[in-house]
Structures are given as structure tokens and as C-alpha cells.
Amino acid sequence: MISGPSAQGELVHGLLDAAAREVPDAPAVRDATGAWTYRQLDHYSQAFARWLSIRGIGRGDRVVLQLPTNRKLAAMFYGASRCGVIFVPLNPAMKTFHLRQVIDNAEPKLLIGGTATAGQLADIAGPVHLQDELWAEVEELRARGARFEPEPVRPDDVATLIYTSGSTAAPKAVICPHAQVTFASRALTDALGYRADDVVFCRFPMSWDYGLYKVVMTCISRSEIVLADGESDLLLLRRMRETGATVVPVVPSFASMIINLARRAPADLPPVRMFTNTGAALPQATTDTLRKLFPGVRVVRQYGQTEAKRITVMPPAEDRERPGAVGLPLPGTRVLILDDEGRPVPAGQVGEIVAVGPHVMPGYWNSHEVTAKAFRQVEGTGEACLHTGDYGSLDVDGYLYFEGRRDDMFKRKGFRMSTLEIEGAAMDIPGVRAAGALAPTSNHDLTIFVESDLEPSVVLKELAQRLEPAKVPAICRVLAEFPLTQHGKNARQELALLLDGSGA
């Protein structure tokens, strides 16, 4: 019997069923090789579900897919959902070292690889289905009109495991049940105001929640997603133009790339109406330049963690208000700011950001200790909550201001500060394309890395004009190319290695 609050909610493939029923001929998903309507996406998802069930793969089984992000992967996501199978997408760039840990942790029943990844997957985990061969079978099943006999999937069943990357610690998988994924996707679609005539240009892989949820959000809003993960950097703007992109999710490094391309062709820009940012703070200078190049565009600040998908969103209509704020909690959720003893602090005071609501995931897969640290209960009410390990404050109207991770915050010369504000000041210097600050340690003083053609002394002088003396770094290293994680965030560990290891 289905009971209890966790059994309420929607199923991921239920969202596709509704879209395919209501707008079967509307464009659903496009990639470099073509496009499908909602009817076609639905049919392929049915055929893939059938393919899985023929192989005896069913509810609760993990299927690991190390594949490029394209239409087929979107259909496989919905197809896995139909069978109650847990979809485990891995970034094709993930290397053996992490892959081994992931396979040990996920214990998959089936593996699917592409031409670039099947070899290393097979070395680690045994037989791998090659996507091209598999797809020929799926095509055949679809041509025969194969439908899938529905399995009794529950909203509290796990839809996907998202492995978080970017650190050298063992990768952790965030457990994402259907109820949480569908709740967060609906809340986000509303908060951002996605429209049926939108074309959402997604540069991010489905192995990252930022990319994966876009597939669900466009389905909810009956809009079209362009999966552009594999596109060449240089062609991105042209591709946005060709596809008529109206909404473009960014991270700071991708926003800088768009700016560089747009500056070269200012008269021929795509019809973007909204850029949305998450993952890392968008420097004010980048926001200003996007607004100048794309007149009337909204640049929406957000804050989230895979562990609760998204936590706050700035209402798009208020994108120029409250500089520095990263928005309001998702509708139907709350944000608490707690001190070290777990007590709420007054508005304006900094404490740990804690998210409460139906978007909070149940924890990490097969990792009880780390789960217990982050996923807890609100004292008094017993509601599930996520201790983010991030610091921030709420203003009197409930808008969140992000200060940084616990590790980003430090004291120097008696002042409390965050690497983020130092990076923000560096990004404000004309000619600085990327910046990463490292807090002082016993090995080195406060250091700033920049990607730029400027001399280190010039960067430090410029920083001194923007920051209080205690916050001006002692060391500046100029890099020709900035190390980024697979998701376009600053690769801090690599920066630290440059400093403490062999030197830049």
C-alpha cells in the first residue's frame, strides 16, 4: 500500500506522458543531428523502456550511462523512469580513477557506453552495451510500435543518482527520487516563468543536475530544449541564433565565452530574453556586459545544490534589484540561517544556509555518514532539511545573500572575508577573463590567480583600488588558461597544486 508523505508526488515520465498527450507535435528536443517532437520523444522512451524490460532490468536497478548528452539520452532518461530503473548518467570526461569509485558505489546492473567511453567502462566493470548497437535495437522496437507495460513506480522511488564532481574526495551520489525531481522542476519552471514558445539552449551535460533538470523543465512548460553539450565553443553563438534560443542557462565561464563571441558579431545576436546563472556567482561586470550586448535581457541569479536541486531564484522581473542577492526560496520551500549551535539568526546576520521543503533529497547513495552530516531535521518540527555547509544571510524581505562555503571564508589581518569577494573584485578589472582566490594557509599567503594578459603587479594595483588593504592578495599568478572543472567552475584543487606543487 502506498502511504506517507513521501509517496505523494508525481513521476518523471508522467510529465512526458502529459506533454505528449497535450502537445504531441510541439518541438521537444533538438541536438546537433536533428529534432524530435513530444510524440517522438515519448515513443523512443517507450521503446527504450521495452528494451530494458526485455533484459530483465526493472525497478530499483541502477543503469550507468557514460554517454554524450543528446536526444537519445533524454529518451533513455524517461524510458528508465517508466521501468522504475535508476538512471545514473556519468560525464563522458570522467576518468578511470573516479569511475572505479562510482561503479563500486552504484553497483549497476547494466552499463551503457559510447565509442569514447565503452573501453574504460568495460575494463573496470565488465560487459558494456554500446550505445550505437543498442540504439539500432531501440529503433527497431519503436518501428514495431513497442509500448511498455507500466510498472508500479512510486513517487518516492529513486529516479536518478547524480554524482557530484570537482573534488578529489570520493564522488558522492545524491539520491533524487521522482517526487523531489518533479516538485523542484515544477517550482523552478514557475519561478523562472518558462513559456511554451521558449527555446532553452542547454550547454550542460545531463550528468549535472543543471543540465538534467532543464530536460524536465522544458517538458513541463511544453517548450523546446536544445542539447548543445557537444557543440564547439566557437559555434555556440551561431547555434543559438539558428535554433532561436530565448533562454540560456549559464555559469560564469560560459557567460564570458558568450560575451567574447557576441562582441565579434554584435549585429547578429540570438533572441535571448533570459540568462539564468547558478553554480558560482556571476561577477557584476559580466552581468552588466550581458545586459549591454542583449538589450532588455533578464540576467537571473540563483543559488542551489544538487542535494536540494535549487534553493533560491531571483524573480526575473526583479533581476536589477537588490544587487548581490541570489533570490527567494523556491515556492513551497523555506531557507533558514542558523548559527553554529543551530539557532536561527536575525535578518542581516551571516550563518549556515539550511534548506527546508519537498525539494530536499533523502541523502547520498550508500554513504550513511556523510548523509547524516548534511541531511538532518529541523529542531522542533522534525521536517527534513539540508545543511548546505554554505554561509549567507537573509534580508528582512527574505532574499538570500550568499557569502561562500565554509572553506571559502577566512580571517586575515583581523578581518573576516571570503574568497568570493576577492574573485569578484578581480573580475571587475578590465582584461581579467577568469579569477580564483586561494585563502591563506601555512604554506602561502592570500593568492589570486587570473587568466589575463595583464602583469601580476598591475592586477594587484587594480585590486588595491577595489578592496580594503587586508583583502588585497599578497601574490598574483597570471595563467594563460584557467583550470575549470567539468562543469565550468573554478578547479580550486588544481590552483592549490599550482601554488604548493610544481609552481605555475
Q: Which of 37, 302, 393, 452 binds ligand ASP (CB under 6 A)?
A: 302
CB atoms within 10 A of CB 431: 12
- Minimum CB separation of residue 4 from ligand ASP in Å reads 26
Over the range 381-394, which residues count as b (16 or more CB within 10 Å of their CB) and which as e?
eeebbbbbebbbbb
φ, ψ (nearest 5 deg) of residue 387: -85, 110
Q: Is 214 in the site for ligand ASP (CB under 6 A)?
A: no
φ, ψ (nearest 5 deg) of residue 450: -135, 150
Which strand (E) or helix (H) includes residue 19?
helix 12-22
Grid coordinates in use for 376?
538532518
**Contact stretch for ligand ASP (CB under 6 A) within 88-96, 100-108, 228-236, 298-306:** 298-306
Q: Is 309 in the site for ligand ASP (CB under 6 A)?
A: yes
- Minimum CB separation of residue 106 from ligand ASP in Å reads 19
Over the range 61-74, which residues count as b (16 or more CB within 10 Å of their CB) and which as e?
bbbbbbbbbbbbbb
Q: Which of 278, 333, 418, 490 binds ligand ASP (CB under 6 A)?
A: 278
Distance separating alpha carbons of residues 207 and 372, to the nearest angstrom: 24
Q: Nearer Cβ to ligand ASP, position 135 or 303? A: 303
Q: Which of 277, 305, 485, 490 binds ligand ASP (CB under 6 A)?
A: 305
**Contact stretch for ligand ASP (CB under 6 A) within 96-104, 256-264, 303-311, 395-403:** 303-311
* CA angle, 447 then 451 then 455, to 5°: 75
Q: Which of 79, 108, 304, 473 binds ligand ASP (CB under 6 A)?
A: 304
Q: Is 163 in the site for ligand ASP (CB under 6 A)?
A: no
Q: Which of 48, 210, 449, 482 binds ligand ASP (CB under 6 A)?
A: 210
- Minimum CB separation of residue 167 from ligand ASP in Å reads 12
Q: Is 209 in the site for ligand ASP (CB under 6 A)?
A: yes
410 alpha carbon, distance to own chain's centre: 26
Q: Which of 27, 84, 92, 279 binds ligand ASP (CB under 6 A)?
A: 279
Q: Is 421 in the site for ligand ASP (CB under 6 A)?
A: no
Distance separating alpha carbons of residues 306 and 361, to the nearest angstrom: 9
Q: Is 492 in the site for ligand ASP (CB under 6 A)?
A: no
**Strand ranges, E, within 93-157:** 110-113, 129-130
- Minimum CB separation of residue 224 from ligand ASP in Å reads 20
Residue count, binding to ligand ASP (CB under 6 A): 10
Over the range 219-253, which residues count as b (16 or more CB within 10 Å of their CB) and which as e?
bbbbbbbbbbbebeeeebbebbeebebbbbbbbbb
The amino acid at 18? A
Q: Are the beta carbons of 51 and 117 closer than 8 angstroms?
A: no
**Contact stretch for ligand ASP (CB under 6 A) within 287-295, 304-312, 338-346, 466-474:** 304-312
**Contact stretch for ligand ASP (CB under 6 A) within 140-148, 297-305, 353-361, 442-450:** 297-305
- Minimum CB separation of residue 95 from ligand ASP in Å reads 21
Which strand (E) or helix (H) includes residue 161?
strand 158-164
Q: Is 91 in the site for ligand ASP (CB under 6 A)?
A: no
33 alpha carbon, distance to own chain's centre: 24
Q: Is 262 helix (H, G, I), strand (E, B) or coil?
A: helix
CB atoms within 10 A of CB 380: 6
- Minimum CB separation of residue 174 from ligand ASP in Å reads 9
Q: Nearer Cβ to ligand ASP, position 69 or 131? A: 69
Q: Are the beta carbons of 293 and 269 closer than 8 angstroms?
A: yes
- Minimum CB separation of residue 470 from ligand ASP in Å reads 29
Q: Is 306 in the site for ligand ASP (CB under 6 A)?
A: yes
Distance separating alpha carbons of residues 490 and 97, to the nearest angstrom: 20
Q: Nearer Cβ to ligand ASP, position 183 or 210? A: 210
Q: Is 483 helix (H, G, I), strand (E, B) or coil?
A: coil
Q: Are the beta carbons of 274 and 301 closer than 8 angstroms?
A: no
354 alpha carbon, distance to own chain's centre: 19
**Contact stretch for ligand ASP (CB under 6 A) within 106-114, 282-290, 306-314, 384-392:** 306-314
Q: Is 310 in the site for ligand ASP (CB under 6 A)?
A: yes
- Minimum CB separation of residue 309 from ligand ASP in Å reads 6
Q: Is 332 helix (H, G, I), strand (E, B) or coil?
A: coil
Q: How many residues does the chain have?
A: 504
For ligand ASP, the nearest residue by Cβ is 304
Q: Nearer Cβ to ligand ASP, position 58 or 389? A: 389
- Minimum CB separation of residue 61 from ligand ASP in Å reads 25
**Contact stretch for ligand ASP (CB under 6 A) within 103-111, 302-310, 406-414, 477-485:** 302-310
φ, ψ (nearest 5 deg) of residue 150: -60, 140
Which stretches of the chain bind ligand ASP, using CB under 6 A? Answer: 209-210, 278-279, 302, 304-306, 309-310
